[in-house]
Amino acid sequence: MKQLYSLLFIFLFLAISCNRSKSIQEVSENTDTLKVDTNRIVSVVEETLIPSAKKAVADWREYKDVDEFIIKYYNISNTEALNNAEELVGLIQLMKDTVRVEMLKELNIKARFNVLHNEALRLQDMALISSITDDEVSEEVKKIIELYSALNSKINTIYKADQLQKSLEIDTETPIEIIKEELIPSDEGGERLIKPMKRVSKKTSISSKKTKE
């Protein structure tokens, strides 16, 4: 009878040990499937809009949607970058098709929109290529961020030039100032006449020229 109890105890011990080992293995497998991808792509838009440009696009909803969405790509995994590519493509498409600011309808700006859109499409296509590498995805994401920064830089350049042009066209004439009184010799003899006082007006206009008296 004692031998029976001993065999039963050993059997129960082995059964418990096997179940425990199996449970540990299942937990380990589940943990592996939940591993966080630490290979993240870190980048940043180096140039954002200056105040005058930002004010100009304030009502351009499509630009603001891209600007807000692209923040996700500042720190993103390769998988997330590929999964979000389709939405990024759609937002950029809307932005380039709905330019609401007259000054940004120039051909060189449209060209930058097109290049940015093409690179986003390239990133989207990468999700369908099984042999694509993490490095290739990372390089493409960084290229998109650089192109978006270059777009902002071009927009800023346009508004900086506009501000400069306006400042040059402003009439900054100061109150008339008396420079000096000059005495000139008379053509008829020793008397000296007072020459009319010279007056000047300061202008910032590029086309202004000095006149000879």
Q: What is the mean pLDDT of residues 22-34?
A: 47
Q: 17 vs 126, which has greater pLDDT?
A: 126
* Residue 75 clears pLDDT 90, i.e. is over it: yes
Examine the pLDDT at 187 and tell me if it is beyond 60.
no
- Averaged over 37-41, what is the pLDDT? 73
**What is the percent of the chain with per-residue pLDDT over 90, rounded to a whole number?**
54
CA distances from 135 to 40, 112, 142 (A): 11, 25, 11
What's the token pair of residue 40?
């993240």
- Looking at residue 93, what is its pLDDT? 97
> If 0-12 CB within 10 Å is exposed, 13-18 middle and 19+ buried, where does residue 144 land?
buried
The two tokens of residue 5 are: 């109890």
Q: Which two tokens stand for residue 28?
A: 């380990």
pLDDT value of position 166 = 86
Distances (CA, A) of 4 to 7, 12, 17, 202, 212: 5, 12, 20, 117, 130
> Is the pLDDT confidence value at 101 over 80?
yes
Tell me the two tokens of residue 49: 């809009």
Structural domain boundaries in the chain: 40-169
Vertex 11 angle, CA 7 and 14, to 5°: 140
- Short-list 146, 161, 170, CA closest to 52: 161
**The pLDDT of residue 2 is above 60:** no
Q: What is the pLDDT of residues 145-175, one digit of tens each?
A: 999 999 999 999 999 999 898 888 765 544 4
Task: Name the more confident of 4 and 71.
Answer: 71
pLDDT of 37 above 70 = no
Helix (H) or strand (E) holding 86: helix 85-97
- Higher pLDDT: 42 or 185? It is 42
> Percentage of the chain surpassing pLDDT 70?
62
41 backbone dihedrals φ, ψ, rounded to 5°: -95, 120
Question: Residue 167, class by beta-carbon neighbours within 10 Å (0-12 exposed, 13-18 middle, 19+ buried)?
Answer: exposed
User: What's residue 109's pLDDT?
Assistant: 92
Band (pLDDT 50/70/90 cuts) for residue 181 is very low
CATH of domain 40-169: 1.20.120
